[in-house]
């Protein structure tokens, strides 16, 4: 079981098309199924029009998916339950720091280590607030929830890895989740983050093979830790190369990459797009 899991915060571009076609192609070769999941946990950026656009663009490419399509925004109670489980076991703590406060705190420190996305690691300001944290939550202070990485890795036991697969075979990859530090597992506005929702949903949807871009390869290290903590199966992973624009940058809406809808309007055919991406 595979899945294509776009976030509806813009129109799909060629990079999405490549990922969707690769997932569909591998599912067909394996005699499996590829599901569609709408990753719409961000209430500010997710728009129904974009959900509609995703389905339209995929259908235009010739890709259809079994029902029901999973919309993450409809499953917040499930993520809340998973989060509460981690909190109850002392593996997550509330963090009241604003981004500005974290920046200021880091600026005053010496040489701060960074996570794989280049963001300075959280310095742990709220890690040991004790009962004061409960008072602040009761008062309604906005907060995220962070994984207590030291407690989590202790609880999960020896380092967990995963099996990576590609066109030629499979090999074991060691994971080092500690490079993410005390990662945010629930945002201020919803009781989950990308990381928590993705491992939960991959398990609920019975996903056995996750095929996604290399930009998410480092996140897999954190995902296998969450899977160990939550008692979830670990799928096999394949992290495909990203399509780059003429300037060597990853395609993205914010950098003005042309959407599939733009290409369609300019007269491109689905066959031409498929052929351009190597799926004739
Ligand atoms: N929703 C993510 C994105 O649009 C992909 C998540 C995943 O494949 O794990 O980049």
pLDDT digits (tens, 9 = 90+) for 103-148: 887 776 556 789 999 888 999 999 999 899 999 999 999 999 999 9
Give pLDDT tens digits for 197-244: 999 999 999 999 999 999 999 999 999 999 999 999 999 999 999 988
Contact 230, 82 (CB under 8 A): yes
Query: Counting atoms of ligand 1 from 1, which one is nearest the CA of 198?
Result: 9
What pLDDT is attached to residue 245? 75
Give the up-direction half-sphere exposure of residue 231: CA atoms within 13 A in the CB hemisphere: 3
Q: Coil, strand or helix: which one is 34?
A: strand
Residue boundaries of the structural domains of the chain: 1-74+244-279, 75-205
Residue nearest to atom 3 of ligand 1 (CA): 6
Identify the architecture of domain 1-74+244-279 in CATH. 3-Layer(aba) Sandwich (3.40)
> Catalytic: which of 75, 127, 155, 253?
253
What pLDDT is attached to residue 23? 98
Q: Which CATH number fits the domain 75-205, given the four candidates 3.40.50.410, 2.40.10.10, 3.90.800.10, 3.40.47.10?
A: 3.90.800.10
CA of 155 from ligand 1 middle (Å) equals 27
Percent share of the chain, pLDDT over 70:
97
CA of 136 from ligand 1 middle (Å) equals 33
Ligand 1 lining (C-beta closer than 6 Å): 5-7, 39, 198, 212, 216
CA dist., res. 123 & res. 103, Å (int): 10
Mean pLDDT of the region 13-35: 97
CA dist., res. 106 & res. 114, Å (int): 11
CA dist., res. 260 & res. 12, Å (int): 6
Contact 13, 242 (CB under 8 A): no
CA of 39 from ligand 1 middle (Å) equals 7
CA dist., res. 160 & res. 18, Å (int): 30
Contact 28, 221 (CB under 8 A): no
């Amino acid at each position: 079981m595979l899945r294509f899991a776009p976030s509806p915060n813009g129109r799909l571009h060629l990079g999405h098309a490549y990922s969707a076609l690769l997932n569909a192609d591998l599912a067909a070769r394996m005699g499996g199924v590829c599901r569609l999941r709408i990753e719409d946990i961000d209430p500010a950026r997710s728009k129904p029009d974009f959900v509609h656009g995703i389905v339209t663009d995929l259908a235009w490419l010739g890709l259809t998916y079994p029902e029901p399509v999973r919309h993450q925004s409809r499953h917040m109670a499930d993520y809340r339950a998973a989060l509460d489980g981690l909190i109850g076991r002392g593996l997550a703590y509330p963090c009241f720091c604003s981004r500005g406060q974290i920046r200021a705190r880091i600026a005053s420190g010496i040489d701060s280590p960074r996570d794989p996305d280049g963001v300075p690691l959280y310095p742990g300001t709220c890690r040991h607030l004790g009962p004061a944290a409960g008072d602040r939550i009761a008062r309604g202070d906005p907060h995220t929830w962070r994984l207590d990485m030291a407690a989590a890795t202790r609880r999960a036991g020896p380092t967990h890895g995963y099996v990576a697969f590609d066109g030629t075979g499979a090999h074991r990859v060691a994971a080092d989740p500690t490079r993410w530090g005390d990662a945010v597992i629930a945002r201020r506005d919803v009781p989950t983050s990308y990381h928590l929702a993705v491992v939960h949903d991959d398990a609920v949807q019975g996903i056995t093979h996750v095929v996604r871009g290399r930009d998410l390869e480092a996140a897999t290290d954190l995902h296998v830790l969450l899977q160990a903590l939550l008692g979830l199966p670990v799928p096999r992973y394949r992290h495909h190369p990203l399509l780059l624009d003429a300037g060597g940058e990853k395609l993205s809406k914010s950098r003005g990459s042309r959407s599939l809808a733009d290409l369609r309007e300019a007269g491109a055919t689905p066959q031409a797009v498929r052929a351009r991406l190597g799926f004739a």
